[in-house]
Amino acid sequence: MGWTDERVENLKKLWQDGLSASQIAKQLGGVTRNAVIGKVHRLGLSGRATPSKPARPVFKAPRPQRAVAQPAAPRRIAEPLVATAPVPAPVRYIDEAPGSATVLTLGAHMCKWPIGDPSTDGFTFCGRRQDDGPYCAEHARVAYQPAQTKKRSGPNELARSLRRYI
């Protein structure tokens, strides 16, 4: 079905009324939504009296800012102060016996050498104090082996290796 003058006038009126291309195609019958869009474009119909989409509000109220979770500060237990003498700082006891640290108690400066089978309940870490690297001095010697020097191959070594293939 072609575009007659009557159908073009009907299209212009429906377009100015704010109907969508799909709605216009249904009312006209025999044309698709894309045909309506193409004809509107060719006719140069630009603005509409009322938009097909509801107008968005120009000003949106700002959302309340989300509270940023602050890392929990370590709690300090307030001790009563004695006015006559200063209170010494409490000494923190660190258990440095091997196998005393669990996943939950393992700290930054503790040896992370695993002890036992991870699938059992008795699995722990060494936990001794260490200053450099992830392991204490004893476990670092086991973990980091020095590179072994290669044997210099001389005539005897060459003759021996050739005998294997002959």
**Amino acid occupying residue 113:** W
* Segments making up each domain of the chain, as ranges: 5-43, 95-146
This prediction has a pTM of: 0.32
Rounded-to-integer distance, Cα 41 and Cα 38, Å? 5
pLDDT, position 69: 65
Contacts of 40 by beta carbon, 8 Å cutoff, 6+ apart? 11, 15, 21
The helix/strand/coil state of 101 is strand
Confidence of residue 62 (pLDDT cuts 50, 70, 90): confident
**For 99-156, how does the pLDDT look when each residue is reduced to its tens digit (9 = 90+)?**
678 888 888 888 888 888 888 888 888 888 887 888 888 888 888 887 777 666 667 7
pLDDT, position 121: 83
Rounded to a whole number of angstroms, the distance between the first and last alpha carbons of the chain is 92
Closest CA to 101 of 119, 121, 128: 128
Confidence of residue 96 (pLDDT cuts 50, 70, 90): very low
Maximum mean pLDDT: which of 47-51, 78-82, 94-98, 114-118:
114-118
